[in-house]
Structure 1
Amino acid sequence: MSESKYAKYIGMKLEPVVFEVTGDRIRQYAKATNDPNPEFHVEEDSKLVTPLSFTSVYWISAIPNFLKKVMEEGIIKDLSRLLHGGQKYEFLKPVKPGDKLELHVEIKNIYVKNNMLFLEFNLPVKNQNKELVSNLTTTFIIRPGGF
């Protein structure tokens, strides 16, 4: 595909992915990351604080559908050529146990630079009240031979 053919994918949105936040998931994450902050280990869910880095747990739940779609569309042809190029987080509201998060993936930009394909996508995250809790921007880089 030439770079001009990628333009049609900018703005493409995928069906939202739902992720349910539980106290157990938060505590397991805090334990797995060896985070000593006692607020992340409280047994009572109503007093439990969610680490900001927990974002990576629900972020990753949206990635399989995204990768499947870009493979189906022929944007990426070989996932072994994919690199994680960067991530930006914007935290707007706390995430709490009991939240049902909707992750909405939208392709923000696609371009070729230095013979590599750069694929930027936004992932706005809303809770069950349709409130925006975070906005994530990720860049994947696909090396030559992968697109």
Structure 2
Amino acid sequence: LRLSQLLALPRAARPLAAHWVIDESSAVALAQRGGRHTRLGFFVTGATLYVLWNVTTLLGALGAEAIGDTGAWGLDAAGPAVFLALLAPMVRTARERVTAAAAVLLGLGLLPVLPGGVPVLVAALAAPAVLWAEGRRTPRPSEESPR
């Protein structure tokens, strides 16, 4: 919904652009100053990933066994690293930093004791937990003392 407002595309272009609404194109678009830069970031990222995804899929289908054990290359860490790199510029306020830190602590702390994928889901609870804690600290207007 946010991208729809920022990109302000003609109605006929929206179904085509929807195919490129992914983490990477959204993060790059949202990191721009607005207007033309937002659209340019979105479309360049979407087009680049579309081409590279298909080319690397073809290469993988033709000769993936040539690179050997992908676990030995540490490629499983590339996805989360790219995702964190995309999110880092968007974490600006103290609330966002606290939320990110709490999510990391929850995710990494529960990684050894929960089945795969579950720590990520639990880490998502960091956002409502931080908002709840922040709400408990902030006095409500009816609780403030008169001046």
What TM-score do you get using the length of structure 1 for normalisation? 0.26
Higher strand share: 1
Q: Which has the higher contact order (CA 8 A, sep 6+)?
A: 1
Higher helix share: 2
Which structure has the larger Rg over C-alpha atoms?
Answer: 2
What TM-score do you get using the length of structure 2 for normalisation? 0.26
